[in-house]
Amino acid sequence: MVENERKDDNTGDSGGKSPKKLRVLLRTFGCQMNVRDSEVVKGLLSAEGYEMTDDPKKADVVLFNTCSVRDHAEQRVWSGIGLLSRKKNRPLIGVLGCMAQSYQADIKKRVPAVDLVVGPSEIDNIALYLEEALRTKNVLAVKERARAEEIYHTGFYDKKDHAYIVVSEGCDNFCSYCVVPYVRGRLRHRPADEIVREARAAVDAGITSITLLGQNVSAYGTEYTCLPDRQGEQSTPACRTGREDRVCGFPELLEKVAKVKGLKSLSFITSHPKDTKKELFEAMRDIPVVRKYLHVPAQSGSDRVLAMMNRGYTAEKYRELVDLYRSIVYNGELSSDFIVGFPGESEEDFRATHDLVKSVRFDSAFIFKYSTRPHTKAAEFPDDVPQAAKKRRHAELLELQKSISQSLKKHAKKA
């Protein structure tokens, strides 16, 4: 337990305490991948003797695990850092995650009070960097590299019954509006047998529900072959060729994880439309523990806008994918993402998006106003849709989706 406040704001002296006795508050912004990264950080720091806290008044260290996908998330982080930096006896401040990778040394230039900047690929060394920051108050670690596999095996999960398990990181699609390839790197897959090992350990620890995570799980594939499970278990039917030189696809990975004894529910996010195939839907249909839920972002219903976004499909192809899903997965849930106000989006383009939402009838959808992201191709486009138009389109699409969701829920209750 920490008995003294952090005393010297200039030198970083922790008041005679061992750094491994300090209390750490970790604030998480953004997607489920960030939630899992925060769990990993908590596990690594706890293993080194740090004490995690949810009380800002007791925190000796405050870490922000950040998101760069949208400007709104970044502004919340800047605001939080600014408030902390103005405190007389401020805690040590660290910025982790996507903003760390995107802005790097510019973070400290903007807010000199920031002591620690660590990119997503460097969190496996978070304890080391934190101890260094306590001494120097000036750590920048933003290398682009593959993480150490063992960080996923700390066994730390925020919930007692649910675990997020990462299957892949990064993305190779380079959608014109998306910063992910620039802050998370190119697509990298974890070995299938390591994913199964983590799942088995989680279930052995009491976890009953698992969500597999990736920026694009549909593109999952690894140089590892579909090896027989550990502990002498047989390989899955789709992988029965054993050590053959072939790639383990995501449907096969679902089968392998689903075989873990004691697992009651298995879900996954996110799927890119152009990489999502019939085999995934068949696996969802045939594997009892797999949740019949698909999140497949459309982003727009306009072919012109989709082309500018570099999405790799048309609105008609997206509709065909939805029809295929619904023909195979009976009563399957469907959700999506949409961006309104993308550069050059006309009223006609927006109406096409409106029509797609109306005709597909998603169970739910996440709808966002476009904001320019650094490093992206779309940052070169003029952000020419007025804010008033973005706001109106956003509200209109939200209202449409709300009415659809309510209608589907009423129908489900009557059935």
pLDDT tens digits along 368-400: 999 999 999 999 999 999 999 999 999 999 999
**Residues 6+ away with beta carbon under 8 Å from 222:** 189, 190, 191, 192, 247, 248
Q: What is the pLDDT of residue 17?
A: 52
Q: Please, what's the b/e burial string for 275-302 (b: 16 or more CB within 10 A of its CB; e: otherwise)?
A: bbeebbbebbeebebbeebbbbbbbbbb
* CA–CA gap between residue 136 and residue 123 (Å, rounded): 18
pLDDT at 248 over 90: no
* CA–CA gap between residue 188 and residue 265 (Å, rounded): 25
pLDDT at 236 over 70: no
pLDDT at 107 over 80: yes
Q: Please, what is the Cα angle at 361 between 179 and 219, to 5 degrees?
A: 40
pLDDT at 88 over 50: yes
Q: Does domain 157-291 have CATH number 3.30.750.210?
A: yes
Arithmetic mean of pLDDT over the chain: 90
Q: What is the pLDDT of residue 412?
A: 80
Q: Do domains 19-141 and 157-291 have the same CATH topology?
A: no
For the segment 213-237, the average pLDDT, to the nearest whole number, is 59
Phi-psi map region of 157: left, alpha, beta (phi>0 left; psi -120 to 50 alpha): beta
Among 315, 289, 310, 378, which Cα is nearest to 341's? 378
Positions of E strands within 171-271: 188-189, 209-213, 265-269
Q: Tell me the pLDDT tens digit for each residue of 139-161.
A: 999 987 778 898 899 889 999 99
Q: What is the pLDDT of residue 4?
A: 28
Domain residue ranges of the chain, discontinuous segments joined by + = 19-141, 157-291, 292-415
Q: pTM here?
A: 0.88
For the segment 20-36, the average pLDDT, to the nearest whole number, is 93
Positions of E strands within 21-175: 23-28, 51-52, 61-66, 92-97, 116-118, 139-141, 162-166, 168-169
Q: Tell me the pLDDT tens digit for each residue of 285-331.
A: 999 999 999 999 999 999 999 999 999 999 999 999 999 999 999 99
Strand order in the sheet with 209-213: 162-166, 209-213, 265-269
Q: Tell me the pLDDT tens digit for each residue of 51-84.
A: 999 999 999 999 999 999 999 999 999 999 999 9
Q: Does domain 292-415 have CATH number 3.30.750.200?
A: yes
> Among the CATH numbers 3.40.50.2300, 3.40.50.300, 2.40.170.20, 3.40.640.10, which is that of 19-141?
3.40.50.2300
Least confident of 123-127, 265-269, 366-370, 407-411: 407-411
